[in-house]
Structure 1
Amino acid sequence: MKYLTIIFIFIFLTIVSIPFINGTVSGPDLKSGDDWTVPNWATITTNSGFFSEERTANVNINVGVFDIAWKQINPSKDVYTFTTSASVKDMTFSSFNSQNSTTKQFWMRIWNSGVNWAPTWIQSFCNVASIGQDYDGDAHLPIWNSCVWGEIKKMYSHIFLDLNMRADPRLKFIYVPGAFNWCEFDFTEIGNYSTSTGYSYASFNTWFQQAMKDLVDIFGPYSYKLVYTGEDYPFDVDSWPSGKNLLARDAVSKGMGIRNGITEIFNFHLSEIPAYGVTIDTTSGYLKFNKSWLLQANPNRVIGTENECYNDCGFTVASSNIYYAVKMSNLKALQMGVNWLYLVASSSYLSTYPDFYNWMRYSLGKQSTTAFDAWATLRNAQDTFWIYDTSLNWPGKPYIKNLETNLLQRDIKGGAYTKNGSVKKTNIYGGNTDLGISYEGRQTDLVTGNNTMSFFVDDDFSFGTISNVQIKVTYLDLQSTQWLIRYKDSNNVVSNTSSVSVGTTNTYYTATFNFTSIQFTNSISVGRNADFEIINTGSKDIEILFVRVVKLSPTTTTGSTINDSSKLDIPNESSILSISFILILLLSSSLILI
C-alpha cells in the first residue's frame, strides 16, 4: 500500500508542477519597442473618431468644428439671423449659413456665457452683469440666472428643435452648456462668484439639474449628441457639499455624453470619475470599470477627451518624454472608454507616431464584445489629487495600480505578488507637478518567492476555447534571466510556451506568441484561477510593462455577462489558503498511510 501511495503522490505533484510545452503555440517573435499591430479583420467603430478645430484628412482628423457665438444668431430678443459672422478670442466665426453649407461631419460649440459672446441686449433685459473673468481675461455672465438661461434655452430650442438641427446626421455632437473659457464648464468662475456673493450649492444645483434636463428635453431622441464639458470632483468650490462631486454623473444620468479636457495629465484627477463609470477599488487600489453604466453601455453616447497639450497650452515636455506622454495619455483615454478624441495634427504628434495612432483609431469606442484586443499596462502611479482629499482611502493611497481594458493583472499571494518596476517617471511636464510619480512596469519578486504574474481576460471579450490568438508582452531587457507564458490549450492541458531570454540592453522588447488555440477559463494555477500567467523561470526578476491579447479573427463569446471588472473570477487570499490547506491535508493523510 505504501508504494502505491508514494507513486500516487509523485505522479500528482509531477502533473501539477510540470506543464507541457505544447505544439499549439509558436514564438516568441521579438520586436524592439512597442507593437501596435492591428489585425486585418478589425474595423473602426461607427460612433468614434478624431475631431479638432480643423479637419486634417491625412492624419484622419475628419470632424471639424462648427463654432457659433450666441450674439451672431440672436442679435435681438426673439430675432434669429444666420448671415452674420462674429469674433471670439481672436477667432473669426463664419456665418451660420456659411458653416452649415458643408457636406462634411462636424461637432458644435455655441459660445454663450461670455459678455462678448452673448447678445448686447441680454444684460439690460435680464438685469445682469459680469460675474468675473476667466484665466484668459474674458468676462462672463451668470448663465444660472433664470432670465439668462431662459433666453439660452429658447435659442437652443429654435436651432435644434424648430429647425430640427438635432436630427442632422452631419452633427456628431455639441459641447454644452456653452459656458466659460473655451466652452469648458470650468467651476473657477462659479466658485469665485459663490465666495464673493454667497451663492449657494443648493441654488446652483437646483438650476443645474433643471438646465441639464432642459437640454435633454430639447434634443429628445438625439440627446446622446449632447456632451457635458464639466468634470467629476470639480475644482474651486471646495466649500460646497460632496454632492458637487457627482454633478457630471448627474448630467450623464439625464442622457448626455461627457468630455474631459486634460487627460494629458494622465495620472491626475482621473481615477475616481463616476461620470465615466470608472472608480477606485478602495480594497486594492486598482481601477474598476463599470460596463453596465448607461454611458458605457450605450454605443450612441459620446465619451470624449482632448490630448493636444504636450508642448502647448502652457505645458512643456522634453523630447525624450514625448512618446511616453502621448502614449500614456491616450491609453488613459481608452481606459476611460473614450470614443471621440480631440487631437491637433502637429501638437498631438500624429505624424510622428502613425502606428500608435492607427491602433488608437481602431480602438476608440470598442466594447468588450466588439474589441479586437485586451490589454493591461502595468504600473503604480500617484494620483496627487487624492493626497489631500480624505473622502476615499485605499491601500497604497495615493498610488493607483495599472491601466487596463478587458485584461486585468492582479497581485495574488502565494507566488503571484509583484513589486514596482525600475523605471521611475517624474517631472514629465516640467514645472507642473500634478502628474506626480509613476513606476512603469511591474517586477516579479523572487526573494519573497513570487515568480509569477497572473492575468484575467474579461469573459465578455473571450471565454472558453478560442482560435488564432496572439499574446504580446512588452518587457524591459534589464538583467539576464528568462520567462515564459503558462496557459491551457484546447485539450484542457496546462502548457508552457517556449522561453524568452532576457538580456541587459536596458531597452524594451515585445515578444509575440501565436496560439492556434487557447482556453480562457480561469483555470491556471490552483487557487489563483488565472486565464494565463507569465512565469519567471530564471534566477533574476523580470520586468513587464505591457501585455496585450489580440484576436487574429473574430470570435463568438461563450462566457457569462460580466458588467464590472470587480466581478472577474479573481480569488481572494483566503481561498488560496483554503486550497493549499486541503492539499496539505491530502498529502498528510497519504503519508500517514505510509
Structure 2
Amino acid sequence: MKKTWILLLLISNLLSASCEKENNVVDNDFKNEFTISSGEDWSFPTWVKPKYESGLGYMGEFSSNPKIKHAGTTLTWAMLNPSEGVYDFSELEKWLKKAEEADGMILFRLKASVLDRKSPWEGTDGSFIPPWVVEKHQPKTFYTRKEDNGNYLLYAAPWDSGVQNEFKKFVEEFGKREYFANKHFLAIYLHAMSRSYGEEFFISEEFTPQLLEAGLEADLLMKCFKDRMDWWSEAAGKYSHKLAWVGAGSIQGFDYPKEELDRYADQNGFGRRGGFIENYFYEPVVPPVAGQKYVNGYVINDWGHFFHDGRIFGDESEETDEFGVASDEEIRFMQQSIFYQAARVGINFLWVSEKNISLAPKVADWYCMVAGKGPTESPDASCWLREAYVRSIYGDKKIRTWKNFERLLMQRDMEGAKTLPVEKYNLNGDNNKGKKDPSRMYEYSARRTDTANGQTKMIFILNDEFEQSLKGNSQIKITYLDNTSSEWNLLVSTKNGTSKFGTIKGKNDGKWKTITFSVEDKINKGSLGNGASFIIDVKNRKDLTVKHARVIRMV
C-alpha cells in the first residue's frame, strides 16, 4: 500500500509539472540565432519606405541628396499682391512645378508685415507688406531690431484695420486658387512679428514701447491673429493641416494670453512650426508639447494627441554654429540627438542643411523612415538609453533628470534592474545653454547594469499599440559597448511564452557593437512580469553597457 501511495504521489507531481509547463509555456531552450556587427545599426528591411508627406527639406532649392525630398522657399504678400486687386502667384506656381518634377513637396514661408529691413543676406531685403497697402492706409510702424552694424527690422502694425481688410482679400484670393489641394503643397507658415528675420513671434523689451505707441493692445492683438487664422482656415478648407502656426511668443513687458492664441490655432486644425531644434531640449519639443508628460525621470509621449493626426508638425535643424567648441565626436552626438529628438516627439518635417546630415547620416536616414508614422505604422520602436539634467520642461526652470529618448520603446528602472548612466559628454557650447542645469552641462549617452549591487537586468517595455500591431516575426537590435567579459541572455515575452537567446559573451575589446536577434514568435507581454516585453539578463558580475535598443517589424 505504501509503495502504491508513493507511486501515485510521483505521478501527481509529474502531472502538476506538466500542467505548469503547458500553462506558462516558458521553458523553450536557449537559442543562438543572433548576429553581431560593428558599430550602431540603424537599418531597416528593404520594404520600409519614407512617408511621402514627411521627412527632410532643404531651403531654397530641391537637393540632389536623395535623403532630402522636400524644399522650402519664402514668399511675401508684396510679391503675390503687387497692386490693389492684382494678384501674381507665378512664383508659387513655379515652385509647385519644381516640386512635381522632383516628386517632392514644397513648404512656403509667407512673410507679410515687414515694411523695410536690412539683414545679413543680400537680395532678401525690402518690403514684405505691399507698399500700396501702406500708402493707402498709413498704418503705424515700429522697429523690432536695430543693430550697430546697420541691420534693422521695421514693421507696419498688422492690427491696423485697413491692413487687416486688405490681408483678408488676399487670403480669400489665395483660397480660390485651390493650391492647398495640390499634393506637392506641403504647408504654409502663418507668421507674426519678431526681432528675428523670419517674422516669428518674439519682441525684446527694448522695442515693446514702440509697439505700444503703434496702438498695441491685448484684445487688438488677439483679434488680429484670430481673424487671420479664421481666414486661412476658410481658405484651406479640409486642408487646414497644411497651415503652420509659428506659435505665440513673448512680447517682453507686455501681457497677453499666449496660450489662448495657440489653442485657437490648434482648434482650427493648424499645425505647428518650431525653429531651433539645434537646442534639442527647447520648449517646442519638451512637455507639455504634443501631450507629453514627465513622470519619475521619464518623458512619456501621447501618440493619440492631435499633433499626430497628420497636420504639419515641423522644426528646423540647419545650423551648426550652436554646437560651440566641441570635438567631432561630441558634435556627432548632438546632431544625432537632434534627429532622434525630432522623431521621438513626433515631428514630421525638418528643414535641414547638407552639413547637418553629413554629421549624422545614418540617424538622418532612420528619421526619414519613421517620420510621420505612429504606433501602428512605424517600422520600429526604439530607445536611446541616456541621461541629462534639464530645466526647460514645462517652462518652470525646475531642474529635472531626463532619462532616455524613447520612441515607442521604454526602458524602466525597477528593483533588480536599476541602471546607471555612463559614457559622459561634456557639452559646454551654446547648444542647450540655459535649457539645462548650469552646474551639469554634460549628458550621458548610455546606461549600464549595476551587478555589484544586485541590479543585473535591463527591462524594456513596448508601446501597447505598437506591440499589438506586430503581425509576426520581428528583430531586436541591441547596441552595446563590449568593454567587459559580461555574459548575458535576452529573454523575450511572446505569444507562446518566453523566447530565450544566449549566452552572449563579451570580448572586452572596447568596441561598440550591435547584436541582432530574430524573434520568430509574436512579441506579447505577459510571461516575464513587470509588463516587460523583453529583458537583458546578465549572468555574471561583469556589467553590460547599452546605448540603443530597437524592435523592428519584419512583416
TM class by smaller structure: 0.7 to 0.9
Q: What is the distance in 2 between the residues matched to 1:316 and 1:278?
A: 34
Tell me which residue corresponds to 2:118. Answer: none
**1:26-83 Cα deviation digits (max 9, x unpaired):** 4432222210111122122132132122111333323223432222232333333457
Q: What is the distance in 2 between the residues matched to 1:254 and 1:194?
A: 32
Q: Aligned letter for 2:421?
A: N
Tell me which residue corresponds to 1:221. Answer: 238
Q: What is the distance in 1 between the residues matched to 2:326 and 2:156?
A: 35
Tell me which residue corresponds to 1:269. Answer: 283
Q: What is the distance in 2 between the residues matched to 1:70 and 1:286?
A: 44
More divergent stretch after superposition (363-372 vs 180-189): 180-189
- Within 5 Å, give how 1:60-459 maps onto structure 2: 60-81=67-88, 95=91, 98-99=94-95, 102=98, 103-104=100-101, 105-115=105-115, 116-134=127-145, 137-159=152-174, 161-177=175-191, 179-180=193-194, 181-188=196-203, 192-193=207-208, 197=212, 199-230=216-247, 234-235=249-250, 237=252, 240=255, 243-245=257-259, 247-270=261-284, 272-275=286-289, 277-281=290-294, 283-296=295-308, 298-299=309-310, 301-311=311-321, 317-345=326-354, 347-350=355-358, 353-386=360-393, 389=396, 397-412=399-414, 414-427=415-428, 429=430, 432=433, 434=435, 436-459=441-464
Shift of 1:485: 1.3
**1:269-307 Cα deviation digits (max 9, x unpaired):** 3554545x24232x41321222222221x23x2121211
Tell me which residue corresponds to 2:477. Answer: 472
Q: What is the distance in 2 between the residues matched to 1:464 and 1:112?
A: 45
Q: Describe the shift of the 1:507–1:191 C-alpha distance in structure 2 as closer, same or farther (beyond 3 A).
A: farther
Shift of 1:361: 1.6
**1:418-457 Cα deviation digits (max 9, x unpaired):** 2222424422547956464322222223344322221111
Q: Aligned letter for 1:542?
A: L
Q: Describe the shift of the 1:11–1:439 C-alpha distance in structure 2 as closer, same or farther (beyond 3 A).
A: farther
Shift of 1:196: 6.4
Tell me which residue corresponds to 2:34. Answer: 28
Q: Aligned letter for 1:215?
A: W
Q: Describe the shift of the 1:500–1:131 C-alpha distance in structure 2 as closer, same or farther (beyond 3 A).
A: farther
CA contact (8 A) 2:107 2:185 kept: yes
Q: What is the distance in 1 between the residues matched to 2:245 and 2:86?
A: 27
* Structure 1, unpaired ranges of 5+: 84-94, 554-594
* Structure 2, unpaired ranges of 5+: 116-126
Q: What is the distance in 2 between the residues matched to 1:203 and 1:507?
A: 61
Q: Aligned letter for 1:349?
A: I
Q: What is the distance in 2 between the residues matched to 1:438 and 1:194?
A: 41
- For these two proteins, the number of residue pairs brought into alignment is 518
Tell me which residue corresponds to 1:539. Answer: 541
Percent identity (aligned): 23
More divergent stretch after superposition (148-157 vs 402-411): 148-157
Q: What is the distance in 2 between the residues matched to 1:206 and 1:191?
A: 24
Q: What is the distance in 1 between the residues matched to 2:484 and 2:448?
A: 12
Superposed CA RMSD in Å reads 3.6
Q: Aligned letter for 1:254?
A: N
Tell me which residue corresponds to 1:481. Answer: 486
Match of 1:262, SS state, is coil
Q: What is the distance in 2 between the residues matched to 1:330 and 1:101?
A: 29
Residue 513, structure 1, aligned to residue 517, structure 2: yes
Tell me which residue corresponds to 2:504. Answer: 500
Q: Aligned letter for 2:184?
A: R
Shift of 1:539: 0.6
Q: What is the distance in 2 between the residues matched to 1:480 and 1:427?
A: 34
**1:189-234 Cα deviation digits (max 9, x unpaired):** 6994269639454543343333322321221111111111226xx4
Q: What is the distance in 1 between the residues matched to 2:520 and 2:297?
A: 35
Match of 1:230, SS state, is coil
Q: Describe the shift of the 1:288–1:490 C-alpha distance in structure 2 as closer, same or farther (beyond 3 A).
A: closer
**1:505-564 Cα deviation digits (max 9, x unpaired):** 444221111112243224313xx12111111222133222111001122xxxxxxxxxxx
Q: What is the distance in 1 between the residues matched to 2:482 and 2:284?
A: 31
Q: Describe the shift of the 1:97–1:475 C-alpha distance in structure 2 as closer, same or farther (beyond 3 A).
A: closer
Shift of 1:474: 1.1
